[in-house]
Amino acid sequence: MSMLDEFKKFAMRGNVLDLAIGVIIGASFTGIVNSLVNDIIMPPIGLALGGVDFSNFFWTLKGPAADTLAAAKAAKAVTINYGLFVNAVINFMIVAFALFLLIRQINRLAAPKPAEVAVTPEDVLLLREIRDSLKK
């Protein structure tokens, strides 16, 4: 079997196609989650904390002090951007919770598998009959 044929066989498996579809949908879902966090969730949290913008939380390690992260980057300062990290953690929590809800719903909708009835082999039935006859 040539390498190309082997690759075709591998690529056409259901698992590989499902994974590819999942990656594509996941990439699209990331944009939605980023918008949800940055445009919907973070503004009220920032307002509740007194108009604070998490994306502008940073420490300047080297370079001139700046009021905003954009200004620090423009001045080529070396910064630790812990506010962006907070945003990334919130993004992760939202994605994890959304996936939890999705999987939970799929599990609820999945029909329970019918219990398999064990079929007793004919020779065992015959032996049981003989045993019962001997007991009498």
CA distance 55 to 45: 12
The answer to whether the beta carbons of residues 94 and 36 sit under 8 Å apart is yes
Return the pLDDT at 74.
92
CA distance 21 to 18: 5
Q: Which residue has the higher pLDDT, 3 or 15?
A: 3
Give the three-state DSSP class for 50: coil
pLDDT digits 0-9 by tens, 22-72: 888 888 878 887 788 778 887 887 788 787 777 888 999 999 988 888 899
CA distance 9 to 2: 11
Return the pLDDT at 76.
92
What is the pTM (predicted TM-score) of this model?
A: 0.54
Mean per-residue pLDDT over the chain, rounded: 83
